[in-house]
Structure 1
Amino acid sequence: MMPDKQPEHGGPTGRAQESGRIRAGMTEIQKRTLIGCVCAVSCETLFGLSYLFTKKITSDVDAVTLLGWRFLLAFIMMNILLATGYININIKKKHLPSLLKIAFLQPIAYFTCETFGIQMTTASESGAIIASIPIASLAASILFLHKKPTRFQTFGICLTVLGVVVCVIAKGFESSFNGIGYIMLCMAVLSYSLYCVSAEKAYATTNIEKTYAMIACGACFFTTMAIGRSIAAGTAVDWFMLPLQNTEFLFSVIYLGIASSVLSFLLFNMSISYIGTNKASSFVGISTAVSILAGVFVLDEDFSAMQCYGTLIILLGVYIANMKSGLLKR
């Protein structure tokens, strides 16, 4: 008896199986896109809400002191999670250079350049320059990852940046003409974009390991800087006692250390690993929109029509940048 003839790949059964595999593949892409987008939105929301906590204490505490305590608390939290088994880390020696590179770019280089850049320039200038992060990240992705963005991504990201600039200008534009300040802010933008690229390239390490390296290096750098500065000023005891003496500072640094550092860094690293640098960067403007809305509803700040338009432009830009992704594809 002749054996039954197997259906060819192009036959009805073969086509049905192939179609099933394609549908399954698309479903997996949609799941990854959904997770990545949720992580990006959550991260930028946490970053945006940090405005509430920094606004209340920056008049009493300098930036170096705040950064020192922020990353020290974040490092303590990471080690508590590690000791209790909630997270697992197995960093191999060969992966150490890539992790140190990521940690140097973000948070060390970025926060250092941003902090001093903001101090040397006006709020409108710093906001406008920092707003260019998505465009810089897009360019870095093209140069170093050889990923060509879609027309929707390019237009959406440019629209998001425009929305942020509109929000910044709405509060009044002032010029400082401080060249060093401009350079520091541009270096902050560059370091952030290179961090995004480096995080995506370091696929051999987990998101937890990347986050731990970032927090650990940030704690070593900023805490050492803060303690050294306080020792030189003869206020070391005051620095260590600050969270116990200032309740408002304590609550602020808890949020900034845990939510806006540990959780935010982890979420953004996850979003990069799931949807890539281009898509993840397209959500950066959301933090500006959240900070504006938080100021309006919590701090009773004014909300002009121009800010409203800017916020809507940001959200429209984010949508357009992702409308042809696996999640929003029609």
Structure 2
Amino acid sequence: MNTLSTKQILFTYIALALAVLFWGLSFVATKIALQSFPPFCLIFMRFLTASIFFTFLLFRTGFPAITWKNLKPLLFLAIFQPVLYFTFETFGLQHTSATKASLIIATIPIVVLLLSIFFLKERVRLLNVIGIVISIFGVALLIFGGQNIEEMGGTLLGDALILGAVLSASMYMILTRKLGEFFSPIQITGMQIILGAILFFPAFLYTLPRVKWHNVTGDAIIAVIALTIFATIGAFLCYNYALTKIPTSRVSVCINGIPLVTACGAWIFLGEQLAPLQFLGEESLLLPFTWQISTGGKIPMKANPDSGILFYPKIPLLEVLLLRSDFQTH
């Protein structure tokens, strides 16, 4: 019987927490950068710089064998994330409000839960659903706690585009989980970034003439650098590492921590205020993630004869309250 040590579990969740932190704060940096650069130009600069970093890194650690068998799933991964996700999100926000978009994005864990049952055959219990519902409840309080619902605005087209971003992100998580059996986290992240930069290049050329270089500010340049180092390189490395270690349905729950980080970052750096109900929403968002970390320790594992994946049979702490996801190790 295999066991997972406390150190292994905590390292995985520290990586996941860093990814959530970096992506949450990226909205603040993006808001600053978009004052000087159009969306596709900003996205391409992020991924171009990151792809240079990962090219050197992969030369040291080893590229995956460049065959169509290997390239095809990695290309599909890059199409879903970053290309489709960022495209749907960017254009969706032009036709709907950030408030409605955030609420729709918060449904990612539900979509991932359904897809993981169908594609990955992961075991899902009622308590999984309860944990996700608590997270989404927290997102709703965080979003609606300080304003009237009728103020959200938006159109059906915008909402549909944001839903496309949800589906893209969900498929990305499923594909990463599958690819973790064949590639290292560095290989997955590196190829994802490199292929993403290549695929975004035509859109970059189209929007490049719109850049007013004389209006580019120092803050915008710093924001682009921060987005590249933390939100693109650091976050994708940490998140893909977590996806290769634990079930997709469990990892996706932590996505709802991103609005929490964004709200706190906007409060600190942009002076935006949170209403009391929004603070309650933040606590609801933290609850499932805190629970997952609190279940750390040496967890007994047993083999699933159908999938060849290892699962733990019992969680001794707080299992009556929240998630009880399957835990996989490699």
The TM-score, its normalising length taken from structure 1, stands at 0.83
**Map of 1:13 onto structure 2:** none
The offset of 1:175, in angstroms, is 4.1
1:290 aligns with 2:290: no
State the shift of 1:220 in Å. 1.5
Name the SS of the counterpart of 2:244 in structure 1: helix
Cα deviation for residue 67 of structure 1 reads 1.0
CA–CA distance in structure 1, aligned partners of residues 243 and 201 of structure 2 = 28
**Counterparts of 1:326 and 1:162 in 2: how far apart (Å)?**
29
Q: Report what 1:219 is aligned to.
A: 197
Match of 1:185 in 2: 162
What whole-Å deviation, never above 9, does each CA across 1:189-236 have from its counterpart, x for those lacking one? 0111111111111110111111112111221122331222224x5x5x
Superimposed CA distance per residue, residues 270-296 of structure 1 (whole angstroms, 9 cap, x where no aligned partner): 101111201111111111111111122
Q: Does 1:136 align with 2:111?
A: yes
Aligned residues: 297
Structure 1 CA distance for aligned equivalents of residues 297 and 202 of structure 2: 45
Rounded Cα–Cα distance in structure 2 between residues aligned with 1:224 and 1:116: 16
2:232 paired with 1:256:
no
Q: State the distance in 1 between where 2:11 and 2:54 align.
A: 23
Larger displacement relative to structure 2 (248-257 or 291-300): 291-300
How far did residue 32 of structure 1 move? 3.8
Q: Percent of pairs identical after alignment? A: 27
* Contact kept? 1:33, 1:325, Cα under 8 Å: yes
The answer for the alignment partner of 2:48 in structure 1 is 72
1:42-80 alpha-carbon deviations (Å, 9 max, x no partner): 100111111221222333432222112111121122224
Alignment of 1:276-315 (within 5 A): 276-315=247-286
Instruction: State the superposition RMSD in angstroms.
Output: 2.2
Q: Is the 8 A contact 1:105 1:195 kept in 2?
A: yes
Given residue 46 of structure 1, which amino acid in structure 2 is its aligned partner? F
Unmatched 5+ stretches in structure 2: 299-314, 318-330
CA distance in 1, matches of 2:158, 2:72: 30
Report what 1:54 is aligned to. 30
Q: 1:295 to 1:229 in 2, by over 3 A?
A: closer
1:197 aligned residue (168, 171, 174) = 174
Q: Cα distance, 1:320 vs. partner? A: 4.3
Mapped contact 1:152–1:324 kept (Cα < 8 A): no
**Structure with the bigger percentage of helix:** 1
CA separation of 1:33 and 1:151: change in aligned 2, threshold 3 A: farther
Say whether the 8 Å CA contact 1:91–1:209 is kept in structure 2: no
Of the three residues 73, 86, 90, the one matched with 2:64 is: 90
Give the alignment's TM-score, normalised by structure 2. Answer: 0.83
Asked if the contact 1:157–1:321 (Cα under 8 Å) also holds between the matched residues in 2, the reply is no
Larger Rg: 1
Determine the C-alpha separation between the residues in 1 that align with 2:36 and 2:275: 28
What does residue 176 of structure 1 align with? 153
Contact 1:124/1:171 (8 A) holds in 2:
no
Compute the displacement of 1:143 (Å). 1.2
CA distance change for structure 1 residues 62 and 144 in 2, over 3 Å: closer, same or farther? same
